[in-house]
Amino acid sequence: MKPTKIRYQVLFLIFVNVVINYMDRSNLAVAASEIDKEFELTSVQLGLIFSAFSWTYLAFQIPGGILVNRFSPRILYAFSLIAWSLTTVMQGFAKGFISLFSLRMATGIFEAPAFPINNRVVSNWFPDNERASAIAVYTSGQFLGLAFLMPVLSKIQLEVGWKGLFVVTGVIGIIWGIIWYVFYRDPLKHKAVNEAELQHIESGGGMLDKQQAAAEKKTAFRWTDLKAVLSHRKLWGIYIGQFAVNSTLWFFLTWFPKYLVDYRGLDFIKSGYWASVPYLAAFIGILCSGFLSDYLVKKGVSPAKARKRPIIIGLLLSAFILGANYVSLPGLIIFFMSLSFFGVGFASITWIFVSTLPPKHLINLTGGVFNFIGQLAGIIVPIVIGFLASGGSFAPALVFVAVLGLLGACSYIFLVGNVERIKTGEDE
């Protein structure tokens, strides 16, 4: 029997989830200049608002990882999508610093389970030799979506104002949350998937084992499990690397449009078009990285080289953001920004190590810790940039972002080591 291809339909659903996820993270960046004027915010206050999402998103990563073990992705993702979209709509009615800061924190709470769910869905639906490509495809949603959405979001704000921008983006998410609930099913419950596709997934290392799935739902959280995922050098290597990848990403999700408008003198509409170019570069980077990595594995290249090298090269490229400090032409500024963000995209298959390094029974919890530490960047980077830019120059902020990229490359070179699953007695 020829295997069905239902897993690719599921991948499309995740891709759209990620587009909406990042649309609702970045709409604040588009609205920032107008909000800044209306509320008369300082750069430090704006940095705090930019970081508010990540305070709660980070705090709820580990609880989110636990919830992923307890509830079906169909139910949990639908709830998460609709809840964070409602808080997005409410941001359009914010009255000042405190209310907007609080609503961004609420958005972070409800988005927290999203990427652990993505990882679980891909681990369930895809064999090992297709997983990096699948991760690359859904991760690319954050870049491709924003590349095309930046000009669109700018025009929406021009037509209906920054308040209307939040309402429109929130309503889109509510509608999509309902669509996800209607169409998504786990592999063993999907009526359209045939036995041949299930065998293809399971024989290739996909997490289809019925007894394991039942055990995951019944296993209570143990502090010893958390200790285990915090005690391995390899895992700390990917945690630090994710912090570095997210550091550059959060610059582009928060300060980048304002940097172009207020520090480089571009008008609002032009900045929307210019801002889309680095996102396209990042989209190309993530696809090149994922498909190249899987191609090398299929050709017999060791996972250590096929998985690690794109990440290391990408993190090194991300440091080229520093070049924007030494040029003044808009085209050259965007060139260095695009090269840097291409590097972030090229390094963004980091989630593959959440599936391949930790003990199998700790994959979801590792994913929560991985995202938790990675999202520290969402708190630290916007605030630090706010302080560094408070003197009127953005150059120190770009130096800060570049140094973090180099730190991430070093973590993969010196801490991760050989790419092999960590063994424990419970996996034997």
Residue 172 is assigned to a structural domain of this protein: yes
Region of poorest pLDDT, from 48-52, 154-158, 285-289, 300-304: 300-304
- CATH code assigned at 336: 1.20.1250.20
Rounded distance between C-alpha atoms, residue 117 and residue 79, angstroms? 12
* Residue whose token pair is 């090229």: 346
Asked if residue 363 belongs to a domain, the reply is yes
Q: Which pLDDT belongs to residue 270?
A: 64
Closest CA to 340 of 250, 413, 410, 217: 250
pLDDT of 268 above 60: no
Residue 249 within a domain: yes
Task: Count the neighbouring beta carbons within 10 Å of the beta carbon of residue 313.
Answer: 16
Q: What pLDDT score was predicted for residue 109? A: 92
How confident is the model over 29-73, as pLDDT tens digits?
Answer: 888 888 988 888 888 898 899 889 988 988 887 788 778 878 889
For the chain, give the secondary structure using H, E and C: CCCCCHHHHHHHHHHHHHHHHHHHHHHHHHHHHHHHHHHCCCHHHHHHHHHHHHHHHHHCHHHHHHHHHHCCHHHHHHHHHHHHHHHHHHHCCCCCHHHHHHHHHHHHHHHCCHHHHHHHHHHHHCCHHHHHHHHHHHHHHHHHHHHHHHHHHHHHHHHHHHHHHHHHHHHHHHHHHHHHHHHCCCHHHCCCCCHHHHHHHHHCCCCCCHHHHHHHHHCCCCHHHHHHHCCCHHHHHHHHHHHHHHHHHHHHHCCHHHHHHHHCCCCHHHHHHHHHHHHHHHHHHHHHHHHHHHHHHHCCCCHHHHHHHHHHHHHHHHHHHHHHHHCCCHHHHHHHHHHHHHHHHHCCCCCHHHHHCCCHHHHHHHHHHHHHHHCHHHHHHHHHHHHHHHHCCCHHHHHHHHHHHHHHHHHHHHHHCCCCCCCCHHHC
382 within domain boundaries? yes
Q: How far is residue 398 from each of residues 145, 331, 380, measured CA to CA in Å?
A: 24, 17, 14
Stated pTM of the model? 0.73
Examine the pLDDT at 427 and tell me if it is beyond 60. no
Task: Report pLDDT for 424.
Answer: 65
**Is the residue at 66 inside a domain?**
yes
pLDDT score recorded for residue 40: 85
d(CA 249, CA 18): 14
| Angle value at C-alpha 62, between 60 and 64, nearest 5 degrees | 65
Residue 414 burial by CB count (10 A; 0-12/13-18/19+): exposed, middle or buried? exposed
Q: Which pLDDT belongs to residue 284?
A: 87
The answer to whether 342 and 285 are in contact (CB under 8 A) is yes
1 assigned to some structural domain: no
Instruction: Identify whether the C-beta of residue 373 lies closer than 8 Å to the C-beta of residue 361.
Output: no
Domain total in the chain: 1
pLDDT at 63: 83
Q: In this structure, what are the phi and psi dihedrals at residue 392, rounded to the nearest 5 degrees?
A: 100, -10
- Greatest Cα pair distance, the chain, in angstroms, is 67
Tokens found for residue 101? 């800061």
pLDDT band at 25 (very low <50, low <70, confident <90, very high): confident
pLDDT digits (tens, 9 = 90+) for 147-187: 888 888 888 888 899 999 999 999 999 999 999 999 999 88
How many other β-carbons are positioned within 10 Å of the β-carbon of residue 399?
Answer: 15
Candidate from 72-76, 216-220, 322-326 with smallest mean pLDDT: 216-220
Let me know the angle formed at the C-alpha of 177 by 82 and 275, rounded to the nearest 5 degrees: 85
Q: What pLDDT shows up at residue 212? A: 45
pLDDT at 215: 45
CA 103 distance to own-chain centroid:
20
pLDDT digits (tens, 9 = 90+) for 105-123: 999 999 988 988 988 898 8
Q: What is the pLDDT of residues 365-393, one digit of tens each?
A: 888 788 788 888 988 999 999 889 888 88
Residue the block writes with tokens 């090992």: 128
CA–CA gap between residue 48 and residue 255 (Å, rounded): 12
Q: What is the mean pLDDT of residues 307-327?
A: 91
Rg (CA), the chain: 21
User: Is the pLDDT confidence value at 217 over 60?
Assistant: no
Domain that holds residue 224: 6-427
pLDDT at position 426 is 58
Mean pLDDT of the chain: 85
Q: CA 83 to CA 77: how far, in whole Å?
A: 10
In a domain, 258, yes or no: yes
**Could you give the CA distance from residue 395 to residue 200 in angstroms, rounded to a whole number?**
51
375 domain-assigned: yes
For the record, the structure tokens of 122 come out as 């891909």
Share above pLDDT 70 across residues of the chain, in percent, rounded to a whole number:
93
What's the CA gap between 210 and 44, in Å, rounded? 51
